[in-house]
Amino acid sequence: MGFAFIDPVGGNRPTDWSPEQIVGMQEISFNRTAKIVPLKGSNQFPDAVAIADKEVKGKCKVGRFDGDFLNNIMFGENPTVGSNLIVYPLEAHTVPASTTYTVTVTNASTFSLDLGVRYANGQPFTNMQGATLTAKGQYNVAAGVYTFYSGDAAAAVAISYEGTSTSGIAFTEHNQIMGWGPIVKLVLWEPYSTTLNISSNNGLYFGNVVFGGINGPLKRDDWVYLELDWEAFPDPNNNNLVWSILDGGGE
């Protein structure tokens, strides 16, 4: 297993950027391809063969990530302090037995979005969006205060909502002009050595890399692993890839 490091070197970098190791890495791969163009005449075999277009593309799968890392390699936006906070597990409350049948959630001071109400048995309520409550299983909400129908007096309910936190960061991926995004240097390092090849400092250096696609499946019984796509292109010195092998033996 090797290690990988990124260093934002150009493009549209966020205001606060820094080099960092890709931690929690499950795998990283690259595929260097070249188009082979034959010169054919009247014979079965070509008269000559030449290398034409080349490209290096890769994938990276990580299990540990944060907003700064994703912003550094992919988005290039300027984050703000603070983040959204989903209240989960659902917040348990009991509707008052008498008027006004209102429940104030714990984080009402930072309440920002209703995410639904259920009875304790899991049956969902209906948000009436400010309309008059006329039946059990209905509610309205404003600024973190939930109002229920009188028929639900003393009912046990579970509330889910979103608030805000002063911790963490948040950034918005804007609809930027074509080409917007950070350019990073990508360093892959492999320390493994054997008696056949005792090199213990094997490196691959990609001078300019752009990260593009991101796939993050959420599973019931597994960690979230982000799968990232990237592609390399030559740096200002026209260097695309440097192979570095500290070779101490072998054939």
What contacts 148, CB < 8 A, 6 or more positions away?
95, 101, 102, 103, 133, 138, 139, 155, 157
Percent over 90 (pLDDT), the chain: 69
| Mean pLDDT on 177-204 | 81
pLDDT at 193: 65
> For residues 127, 130, 134 and 137, what is the CA-based torsion angle, rounded to 10 degrees?
20
Lowest mean pLDDT among 64-73, 80-89, 108-117, 182-191: 80-89
Quote the CA–CA distance of 38 and 204 in Å, as a whole number: 30
Domain 3-35+46-79+171-245 falls in which CATH fold? Pnp Oxidase; Chain A (2.30.110)
pLDDT at 165: 83
| C-beta separation of 72 from 20 below 8 A | yes
Task: Report pTM.
Answer: 0.77
Q: Is the pLDDT of residue 65 over 70?
A: yes
What is the pLDDT confidence band of residue 219, given thresholds at 50, 70 and 90?
confident
pLDDT at 106: 93
Quote the CA–CA distance of 189 and 18 in Å, as a whole number: 19
| Mean pLDDT on 112-135 | 96
Write out the residue limits of the CATH 2.30.110 domain(s) in the chain.
3-35+46-79+171-245
Quote the CA–CA distance of 33 and 41 in Å, as a whole number: 26
Lowest mean pLDDT among 16-20, 132-136, 138-142, 180-184: 16-20
Q: Token pair 């404003």 is at which residue?
A: 142
Of the candidates 66, 68, 17, 27, which has an alpha carbon nearest to the alpha carbon of residue 190? 27
> For residues 218, 224, 227 and 228, what is the CA-based torsion angle, rounded to 10 degrees?
110
129: left (phi over 0), alpha (psi -120 to 50) or beta: left
| Mean pLDDT on 13-21 | 89
Q: Is the pLDDT of residue 67 over 50?
A: yes
Q: Is the pLDDT of residue 150 over 90?
A: yes
> For residues 99, 105, 111 and 115, what is the CA-based torsion angle, rounded to 10 degrees?
-90
Quote the CA–CA distance of 131 and 38 in Å, as a whole number: 73
pLDDT at 56: 95
